[in-house]
Chain A
Amino acid sequence: MEVSSTALVLEGVCYAYEEAPREAVSDISLTIGEGEWVGVTGPTNAGKSTLCLLAMGLAPHFFGGRLKGKVTVLAKDSRSVSVIERSSEVGLLFQNPFTQVSGARERVDEEVAFGPECHGVARPEVDARVEEAMGLAGITHLAARHPMELSGGQLQRLALAGLLAMRPRLLLLDEPTSQLDPAGTAAIFQVLDGLHRRGTTIVMVEHRLETLCEVCPRVVAMVAGRVIADGAPEEVFNIEKVQERVGMPVFTRLARARALPRPWPVRLRDAASAFAKSIA
């Protein structure tokens, strides 16, 4: 995907939540081009979710606290645009899908329509978007169900469909498949791949490193509020500091344990060929 302009730029960003003793993110500078698919990973309290909140504008708008530096989202300074206004171009999927649903709709299809309706989208267009978003998220068969009757995985798909119906240019996903089974996870990543091909920028927080390496052409590794590595997955997970503090995909660990020559593979297909070579 050719990167033409920037979707998200953080310049020397430091942010601390109100009354927090330390900064949640410290001195982050990051440029994400439009159309990129970037995976963000790191241990607990690395600042990954805060990064999403900053990009959406919820921090500091909603949480208060101290923000230093500059956050530019789709060429607009985060301080100049409210979260509600930004929601027409940027979508954020929260970790907990239960709180992402509006809590006011009695049917899944009506829930998906909530966002476009809030934006005053014309009725036929809303219907078309709802149908498309439910199809992409694989929940068309659940259209008549009550959102609160869905399982965690189904709710996660519903929350994603609700965002897709708003057709955002920048999609911020905070662990989008945390409640999905392997088949559901694969299906969602297929959807995201389709969106990525259509030009949607995706910033995705993910703990499953194997999955991250398979789908994201670029990975940002964070620890204690700082970016410690940024680049292609095979570069990032071959850095000693990342391996120690963030972890590494199981293939990389195996290759390291078998003392294969560097760089160690991070994807299944690369691992298969590396091990085949070593056996040969």
Chain B
Amino acid sequence: MAGGLSLYAEGSSFLHRAHPLTKGVLMLSAVALAFIAPSVGWVIAILLLLLALVTAAGVLRRLLTVALAILLPLTLLLLAVQGFANVNNRTEAFALGPIVYYREGLAIAALAALRIACLVCATFLFSFTTRPADIAEALMQRGLSPRMGYVVQAALQIIPQTLDTAGRIQDAQRARGLETEGSLPRRARAYLPLMLPLVLSSLVATQERAMALEVRGFGLAVKRVARFDFADNTYQRVLRWLLAVAVPGAIVARVVGWR
């Protein structure tokens, strides 16, 4: 059966132990700053900082495996499209026969690719060091309603569960002779016998789970008890505030002339 949508990698680094909100603010601020920063130099600095944190968390190899699969094709596409076809292209870098590659496009593509690399690194740094259940728990401890907390947690689990159910339905239909592979029309014909039981079983499961939740007292009007206390301290609180303030600060700096 499917395990869940968690990318969490077991570990005991300071990032694993840090408060989920600290890591969440770090992720959001890093991404925002990477997109606000005006030049390649600043974005590289943010990327290097993120890579240092990834290394400290002991998840660099894991990040490279996942990130390269995303970033490599994206970067090549950006380099090709911007270098050859950006409307602001003026200065020739090199020519491939009649096709000219431009420096302006290269600079734009490099900046965009580095920003996306920051986004990917920050997101995976957060995902690799934070369990989804901890995110919801931390938010509920900060005032998110238990119902919304449940929605957050359940949403992170539902995709692999649905894929698992779809796989079992597909196996069952194949066992009854349904052709699910081959040409496009053949696969299209197999779509309905697969989707109908999936939708119906999901509806039934949803109804049963709603009942089961009531039977376990979900929604009872009682004061919620925290499942566990996250390690938090003054340094983390100060860091969260600094990171949060850095974003509007960077926006103001850009407006007043940060180049």
Contacts and interface: CB of A to CB of B under 8 A. Distances in A.
B3 A84 contact: no
Contact of B220 (A62, A105, A120): A120
Contacts of A92: 215
Contacts of B146: 118
B220 A85 contact: yes
A120 B222 contact: yes
A84 B164 contact: no
A163 B219 CA distance: 16
Nearest to B158: A103
Contact of B217 (A100, A105, A122, A166): A166
B237 to A, nearest CB: 23
Given A103-B157, A106-B6, A118 B211 contact: no
A58 B150 CA distance: 21
A197 B7 CA distance: 45
Contact of A84 (B132, B160, B218): B218
Contact of A102 (B216, B223, B224): B216
From A118, A120, A150, A166, residue with most partner B Cβ within 10 Å: A118
Nearest to A119: B217
Contacts of A115: 216-217
A47 B135 CA distance: 43
Interface in B204-238: 205, 208-220, 222-228
B153 interface: yes
A91 B211 CA distance: 12
Nearest to B209: A99
A130 to B, nearest CB: 11
Given A104-B154, A104-B157, A106-B132, A118 B218 contact: yes
Contact of B225 (A94, A100, A120, A150): A120
Assign chain B's interface to a size class.
Answer: 35 or more
B68 to A, nearest CB: 27
Nearest to A125: B225
Contacts of A113: 227
Assign chain A's interface to a size class.
Answer: 35 or more
A50 B156 CA distance: 33
Interface in B1-33: 1-4, 6
Interface in A119-161: 119-123, 126, 146, 148-150
A162 B216 contact: yes
Contacts of A149: 1, 3
B219 A84 contact: yes
Interface string B155-188: 0011011001000000000000000000000000
Interface in B136-163: 136, 146, 150, 153-154, 157-158, 160-161
A149 to B, nearest CB: 5
Contact of A99 (B133, B157, B212): B212
From B2, B212, B226, residue with most partner A Cβ within 10 Å: B212
B208 A110 contact: no
Nearest to A93: B215
Contacts of A275: none
A247 B6 CA distance: 48
A98 interface: yes
B131 interface: yes
B222 to A, nearest CB: 3
A122 B210 CA distance: 25
A214 interface: no
A178 interface: no
Contact of B223 (A105, A120, A146, A166): A120
Contacts of B6: 106
A67 interface: no
Contacts of B219: 84, 118
B164 A148 contact: yes
A238 interface: no
B4 A148 contact: yes
A83 interface: yes
Which 6 pairs across A and B sit closest by C-beta, in order of nearness?
A: A120-B222, A104-B153, A99-B208, A118-B217, A115-B216, A87-B217
18 contacts: A58-B211, A58-B214, A83-B214, A85-B220, A87-B216, A87-B220, A100-B212, A102-B213, A103-B157, A106-B6, A106-B133, A114-B216, A115-B216, A117-B224, A121-B225, A148-B157, A148-B161, A150-B1
Interface of A: 56, 58, 62, 83-85, 87-88, 91-92, 94, 96, 98-107, 110, 113-115, 117-123, 126, 146, 148-150, 162-163, 166
Given A103-B158, A117-B227, A148-B164, 9 more contacts: A87-B216, A91-B215, A94-B211, A94-B212, A99-B208, A102-B213, A104-B153, A118-B222, A163-B216
